[in-house]
A and B are shown apart, each in its own frame.
Chain A
């Protein structure tokens, strides 16, 4: 690890420890849960160049699967986590196969369309999902082999933070691997990636499926948090939130979604207490970020650092933020 990478990782650990002191443990858990979902979207949007507006499909499907398994079978925690991850990945493999047949705006609309389809099914199939009221009655959790009860929100936070670190490590390995480089080459220039011999559709499909697995993992963690799976977990609102977090954090950067999730959840917690119409502020923030700060918070930090002094110099091998790099392929 370089000094910079070590520093960033140290800051991440410090943030994990400090977060429950700054916000309620429930919100802190939510931050890392959505950071996982954000990392997944970042893999397909930031690294592979496909904007999915339907990540709640996998988030919600996994959450419902987990909820049903826990209610009806009293399935152990780790089994449920694994099952939700597999469900997310399988759903993404099936849906992704159809969606990646098209690119650009069509791809986005297809992911959105599928999300709505599953939302309507969950909404109308009340016998199984509880419909608008959500799926209640998830029993209290215990970490099976160690018999540790996760019934307090702080204990649950420790568990979430631990599995988040595992997910983060896995994602870092994927992004740094040759596979991750292929994903980025597809983002930069799909035609050239195909010309040098990569099966672009196949790799897009792989990326989409991996992301579905991560998103499903996050969905399971979400379903365990409140003892209920809300209908919202499969709605476009969650899809939009995930996109939003990745965007304000900074796309194509491993830490971007973490910053974005933290900023988003902290802000929404702080503002929603004061004003019920806080999505209005969210919308304004989104518009401002899109118009003026397309690299997100990561870009803001970079600009701040550059403005602060002569010591600031680009790290060796530093890449342009994706928001800037993407501008060169405008209108294609």
Chain B
């Protein structure tokens, strides 16, 4: 394989990898704080993409992005407030089943509203075309997506580790009852975290829509990879999610270039090896 192809594959892997990291950070926060693997995360990613194309028609590209993140985050808040919240006292498995049911409802709703066939979507004129990086020419829009997702993911990390509100989230992950006993409105933290995590998924879908196109099943297709990122990275570990996201993305992309039929399976083989070698995840504590 020549250098140009290799560089292209690595760059593609990094674009997908940062998307996985973005999904993984949201999932990881929700999993750490609320103790549920949010099965609806994938379909909310898809919904973000679909809101994006409708929003972009009405308000332009940036308006579409804003519409996607706001709509999905609000839906996430509603899901937490009216559904998940009723089940905290019940076994966590039921919350998972709730999110699975919601995933079915939302996927079918997407088909009802936007139709079952795939849709392609163009990036804004300013960002079309490729840029010469020396080793290879690469689409401008993908580079922009990579930069934006990197900034977002790092922003999340800094927010959780360096701000007062982030400290509250970490306290909640550590010990919910103690945090509540210290006067923190933990219920509100739950709702806001769920909204933020799902909002990130929606934004991820919106950003990727010009790269990957839209399909009603796009959410459920990406969900297992987001799960792999969380499992591989370690529970509640944001640096772990970022590292695992990049690793999964690059491995998947390189394998696609070398032997495409094994690309997706190799990701799960990677996860299996990771689990056997480090059961707590790459950067997980427990």
Contact = CB atoms under 8 A, between A and B. Distances in A.
A327 B90 contact: yes
Interface in A105-163: 105-106, 108-110, 112-114, 116-117, 120-121, 124-125
B109 A98 contact: no
Given A291-B83, A291-B87, A294-B90, A247 B269 contact: no
Given A277-B108, A277-B112, A331-B92, A113 B268 contact: yes
B86 A291 contact: yes
Given A113-B271, A124-B261, A236-B220, A330 B89 contact: yes
Interface stretch (A71-79, A193-201, A278-286): A278-286
B276 interface: yes
B31 A105 contact: yes
Task: Please report whether the interface of chain B is mostly helix, strand, loop or mixed according to DSSP.
Answer: helix
Contacts of B104: 240, 279-280, 282-283, 286
A220 B265 CA distance: 24
B89 A105 contact: no
Contacts of A294: 90, 94
A243 interface: yes
A98 B108 contact: no
Interface residues of A, number: 42
Given A108-B96, A236-B220, A294-B94, A277 B111 contact: yes
A304 interface: no
A105 B96 contact: yes
A210 interface: no
Interface stretch (B123-131, B189-197, B222-230): B222-230
A102 B275 CA distance: 9
A240 B99 CA distance: 12
A120 B108 contact: no
Contacts, number: 125
B96 A51 contact: yes
A331 B224 CA distance: 24
Task: Please report whether the interface of chain A is mostly helix, strand, loop or mixed according to DSSP.
Answer: helix
A124 B264 contact: yes
B174 interface: no
Contact of B105 (A105, A109, A113, A287): A287
Contacts of B83: 287, 291
B88 A117 contact: no
Interface in A237-296: 240, 243, 247, 277, 279-280, 282-287, 290-291, 294
A287 B101 contact: yes
Nearest to B37: A105
A104 interface: yes
- Identify the interface centre among B35, B89, B92, B271: most chain A CB within 10 Å of its CB: B92
A144 to B, nearest CB: 36
Contacts of A104: 35, 92
B91 A284 contact: no
Interface of B: 31, 35-37, 83, 86-94, 96-98, 100-109, 111-112, 176, 220, 224, 227-228, 230-231, 235, 260-262, 264-265, 267-269, 271-272, 275-276, 279
5 contacts: A105-B31, A125-B261, A290-B97, A330-B90, A331-B35
